[in-house]
Each structure stands twice: as structure tokens, then as C-alpha cells.
Amino acid sequence: MKGSCGGGTFCFSSESVSMGHPDKVADQISDAVLDSLLEHDPDARVAVETLVTTGLIVLAGEVTVHNQAAEKALSKVEDTARRTVREIGYDDPTTGFDYRSCAVLRALHSQSADISRGVTSDSATQKEQGAGDQGLMFGYACDETSGLMPMPIHLARQIIARITEVREKGIIRWLRPDAKSQVSVEYQDDQPVGLRAIVLSTQHTEEALDDPNDPEAHMSDAARCTLIQEVIRPVVQRECPALWSDDIEFHINPTGRFVIGGPHGDAGLTGRKIIVDTYGGWGRHGGGAFSGKDASKVDRSAAYMARHIAKNIVAAKLARRCEIQLAYAIGVAEPVSIRVDTFGTGDAPDEALTEVVRTVFKPLTPRGIIEYLKLKRPIYLSTARYGHFGRTGAGLTWEETNRVGDLQRAVKGLVART
């Protein structure tokens, strides 16, 4: 049967969603608000959650700012939310959700004093900035792609990036912003050897139906072929041409039609796409979402740092696969644990690599991470689109592989001493 894996092989599937997916709309609004505040107050404390549904945006959470410019930006969060929705592409009131007509409700208040006392440094008492909450964060990297990401999530994201491109450029006129992709990759000996199935569901106008005047009509075969030829095929042939074959099973809008979509079709919430945001299910996840949170929240900053460490280890060819776990206690600066797992692919024992990480990347305190990765800048809206990892671009410091030489020297020195 197509799509099945056996006989020494296995399949792994990952999904991605477009910027017009309801949950991603919420993520982008939360991060747009965060950026608008960090632009004027790098020390702003922000934890903003967003809900979107038919004709409505709700903003809730905790915000503390420290100057008048940031207070003015905070007073304009409604404008920030509307501008973000417009940039996504929801500008047609007939879709049930558009930037002009939707209502925006806000329920924002200042950060709890009990939390603030744990995460605020004090030079008088030499108290170090502590973690904003307890929790565990993971970072992952592997050598399957040039971005050192697993192949399934990489392809799923590239397909979403391509469908957004053809929509925004008008190459396919009947596309609307909401879309989802899913890619199933066949592995043998832990290496990608084929594509078993690709799923692509995208919101569209009636123009894509086999009978635009029939309310029960399905997407036409011609429209499905257009999506394969204009969206999927170019991505696969650019990223992994050897994996393209006639055996790939395509599921294009498998329900038949997707006219009703976006927040009108499903409510969206910040933080519900944490696997899409990270490694597509391949690496572990600690459970904490990213969007709408400033870097004092280790859910975000420590996850970025863990990715940076894992990526540098793989880039240094010290392992083919690497996962880093960092764990923190609220109000405590130093991590309570650090773990390296190379899944048997490391050139040195995991325990030795853990000690190397402690040496090369210290301090792994919230303040140390924030300063090292320069996380007080307004850079976060772009991360809410197409994933937080495996990308290049200005400001994505956690994707830099600038510690390769340090790691190689540290491992060499450790081996020499033993």
C-alpha cells in the first residue's frame, strides 16, 4: 500500500501551517505586540496571549513597560493587531474576518509583583536575574538538511512558504491565507530515502471549484494539479530532487473544498502550534510556547539557546544528531540541569559533551542567554511565520554556527586530558 513503511525502513511525518492559519494569526499578533513594545523599551516584560475568531480579536496577559514611548505603543495595541491581520492577507469582509471590521478587545495588566521579584536583578544585593518560570526546554539539530533540521518539517515549511509566495504574487489568484501542509518521509538507516505522502490543504475562493455556482462542489482536478506543479514540485526539486518520484501519494484538499477558513472557520489561540514552531515532532518539547513572551521567559530564550548549542555541535561534526535539554527553577539564575543526547552519533561520550557545553556556553543564566543572543531586540514577528528554527535572516542569532571552533578545541582538549 502506498505510504506504508517496513522492511528496515520507517516513516516520519511533520506538518506546518501558513501565516493565515488561525493559531498562527494569534501567534503573529502576540509577537507583533511584543516587538512594538521592545522597540521603545528593551526591558519590557511581556506575556500576551491572543484569541481570534469570527470578527473578533482578544488580547490578554501581562505587560510592564518603563517609559512613555512604550506606554504609547501599548495604548496602540489595537492598531498593531489590525496591521498584522492586514499584512497576513485578511482584507475581505466576506471571509468573516478582516482587519477593518473585526473588533479588538484588550485585557492587559502589569506583571505580577511576585513573579517580578524573582526575575529582576538587583545590583545592590548582587542578585542575578532569575528564570521567569520553572520548566524544561529542548533544542535539536541533525545533518539531514543544510539548515540542520529534520527533513519532514523542513519540506513542510518550504511548501507553506511557497504557497504564500504564489498567493501574494498573484500567481494563483484563487488562494486565500489559510493553509496546512504535511510531509511523510521514508528513512533507511536514519537517512531520508523517499517521500511517501504529501498533504496540502489550502483555503480558496469558489474559482477553484469544479462548479463555482454549486455550494456542494469540490476543488477541481485542474486546481489540484496547479498546486502540485506550482507549489509542491518546485520545493521538492529545489530542496531534495533525488526524493521526487511518481510514487508520492498526494492529498490535495482531501475534504473536497476549503472556502470557509481562517479565524472564521476555526478559533485561533497563541501557543497551539508549538510542534510546528520547533522540529515537527522529531525533537522533544518541554511544553512552553514562544510567541508573545519577552526573553526573560526561559520558555523562549532557553529553547533558542538549546537550539543554538545543538546546531553548533552538529555543525562542528561532533555528532550527526544532537538534542540539548536545559531546565530551570523560577527565580533561580543557573539551570538546574543540562543534558546532551547525541543518540549514539557523537564523536565523544554525551557526558563529556555535556561538560564541554557547560564550559563553552557559560553562563546559561537568563541574563547570560539574553545578552549572548541579543534577545532584547524587536525581532520576533518573523519567527511566528515558518517556524523559529532552521531559518536564516537578520536577528536570528540562535541559528549562527559561530562556536564550531570553540567546541572542536574543547573536545580535543578534553580527549587529550583523558
User: Which sequence positions are flagged as catalytic?
Assistant: 21, 23-24, 49, 62, 180, 258, 266-267, 272-273, 293, 297, 299
350-360 and 298-315 helices, crossing angle to 10°: 120
**How far are the Cα atoms of 155, 156, 160, 345 from residue 314, in angstroms, in the given order?**
20, 22, 26, 10
Residue with cell 508520492: 248
**E strand segments, 319-374:** 321-328, 337-341
CB–CB of 406/309 below 8 Å?
no
DSSP of 99-130, one letter per residue? Answer: TTT-EEEEEEEPPPHHHHHHH--BTTTTBPPP
77-88 and 68-75 helices, crossing angle to 10°: 60
DSSP of 265-333, one letter per residue? Answer: HS-EETTS-HHHHTTTTSS---S---TTB-TTSHHHHHHHHHHHHHHHHHHTTS-SEEEEEEEE-BT-S
DSSP assigned state of 350: H
Calpha distance 371→377 (Å, rounded):
11
Sequence-separated (6 or more) residues with CB below 8 Å from residue 329: 130, 131, 134, 336
Q: What is the side-by-side order of every strand in the sheet holding 56-64?
A: 103-109, 56-64, 45-53, 268-269
Residue with cell 498573484: 170
Four-point Cα dihedral 212, 214, 219, 221, nearest 10: -80
Calpha distance 42→65 (Å, rounded):
9
* Identity of the residue numbered 404: V
Query: Coil, strand, or helix at residue 216?
Result: coil
Torsions phi, psi of 98, nearest 5? -145, 160
Q: Would strands 268-269 and 191-204 be described as parallel, antiparallel, or unpaired?
A: unpaired
